[in-house]
Structure 1
Amino acid sequence: MRDAGAGESRDSPTGSADATGRTIIRVALYHPKQAWVDALEVLLESPPDIEVVAAHTNIDWIRSAVAAGKVDLLVVNIDDQGVEPPVVQSLLNSSPGLGVVAVTDAEETTLLSAAVRAGVRGWVKKNASVDHLVRVIRGVYRGETWFPPAFTTRLLDSLLTAEETRKQASGVLSSLSARELEVLSCLVRGLTRQEIAEHFVLSPHTVRTHINNVLRKLGVHSTLAAVSVARQAGLTTRPDEQDERG
């Protein structure tokens, strides 16, 4: 496992160059399985413009290297055995300019869409050649997006469908009052009716009335269905933390 905490080149600024003036792409490798990390590190030893500055199975090591500005691009395996998109998103939150390339055999459109939303800009099959992986790394480093052509149409269809669903759900939510939106937000967070009542200093009867109004306006018959509509609309905000009566 390689740590980015040592070595002069690992402390150099983004877009660092070697003695000849050639730009060096500082790459970090992350996967929970050591064998995956070791194998990929060996494959990336040859390209003269790529330096693996961190290769680890512990996400905290990678997170520290990224936060310290020692990494230009992250290569991860995204699938049910590897890294989930939210992990990528959390890393990009601390380093918005970080390039991310996924090496995976996953083909699920939902996973691909989630990965793109999280910030993945390159998608490489595990059986792809090293030359192709290097081209993708260089392209993503330059700000390009690299996805297999067969995935592009599926991805666009998925994103367009999701956007249309979000717009429809958002339109439905516009009929709710401010208090009803707050109550619905609490349901999205998993709060019980009693917890909602305590949070807003309301009676259980008042909370029940608000929830019934939400169900009626959304045209659904259960809180689970209401939560589904809320999530489709992107309603994830926390209700106001101040206790209010309503």
Structure 2
Amino acid sequence: MIRVLLVDDQQLVRSGFALILGVEEDIAVVGEAANGRDAVALARHLRPDVVLMDVQMPVMDGIAATREIVSTDAAKVLILTTFDRDDYVFAGLAAGASGFLLKNSDPSHLVDGVRTVAEGHALLAPEVTRRVIEQLTRSSPTRRTPDDHPTGRTAPQRDPRLEALTPRELEVLALVGRGLSNREIAAELYVGEATVKTHLSNVFAKLHIRDRVQAVVVAFETGLVTRVRESGPS
């Protein structure tokens, strides 16, 4: 059973989410909070699997609450966001959120999102992924130097975080950074999805990162995505 804590300052919104999730046999709403401070307290007390978190709330906003909940491993957090507030997305990433859902998502997407995050995966909608990539592209300096190999294989020598990755794991990380799904990565590399999942698990373990969202950030911070985009994967 997936235990969910609902956090939103509007009772009507919480009731709607509770109604949608409550009909699922594998999901149980165990609590509700109207602000971030109460959410932190309830998360520590109830230890839910997933906190469905609004952003704009009184007393303490959803970003600050997410940071406190994640820092104590009280629960995974799924943030509700909208297209026109990119700042929430990036602040949520920094706070440790496991995923983002659009407030106008279909009920089925809400249910699938809760299950995805509960299973330990990151949830980043394609629209949100594109915005993250665009922002990282604008904000991250290009790290390529004249002596870089055209395939980007010099990345491990220039960034200690990538030293332990195999060439294939570097390719997988780069493709994750470009926003590709496991299925798309499998097609790009001519391997099975199970193989992609294995490579991703290795990448997460070696880089000490929690999920796909953090992998996107690392791919840009190390310059790996920029180089692959310029020369194409080998």
TM-score range, shorter chain: 0.5 to 0.7
Match of 1:128 in 2: 105
Aligned counterpart for 1:140 among listed residues 98, 112, 117: 117
State the number of aligned residues.
Answer: 141
Query: In the alignment, is residue 33 of structure 1 matched against residue 10 of structure 2?
Result: yes
Q: Is the 8 A contact 2:7 2:32 kept in 1?
A: yes
Q: If each structure's helix is expressed as a fraction of its own residues, which one has the higher value? A: 2
Match of 1:115 in 2: 92
Shift of 1:42: 1.6
Match of 1:94 in 2: 72
Q: Is the 8 A contact 2:5 2:50 kept in 1?
A: yes
**Identity, % of aligned pairs?**
22
**1:51-200 → structure 2 map (5 Å cutoff):** 51-68=28-45, 70-79=47-56, 83-95=61-73, 98-164=75-141
**1:3-14 → structure 2 map (5 Å cutoff):** none
Query: Any idea what the Cα deviations from partners look like across 1:14-65, whole Å, max 9, x if unmatched?
Result: xxxxxxxxxx111001112222222211221101111100112144443223
Shift of 1:160: 4.9
Match of 2:230 in 1: none
Shift of 1:114: 0.8
User: In angstroms, what is the RMSD of aligned CA positions?
Assistant: 2.5
Distance 1:58-1:83 versus aligned 2 partners, 3 A rule: closer
Q: TM-score, normalised by structure 1?
A: 0.51
Query: Any idea what the Cα deviations from partners look like across 1:173-212, whole Å, max 9, x if unmatched?
Result: xxxxxxxxxxxxxxxxxxxxxxxxxxxxxxxxxxxxxxxx
Match of 2:212 in 1: none
The SS at the match of 2:22 is coil
Where does structure 2 lack aligned partners over 5 or more consecutive residues?
A: 143-234
Distance 1:58-1:114 versus aligned 2 partners, 3 A rule: closer
The SS at the match of 1:78 is coil
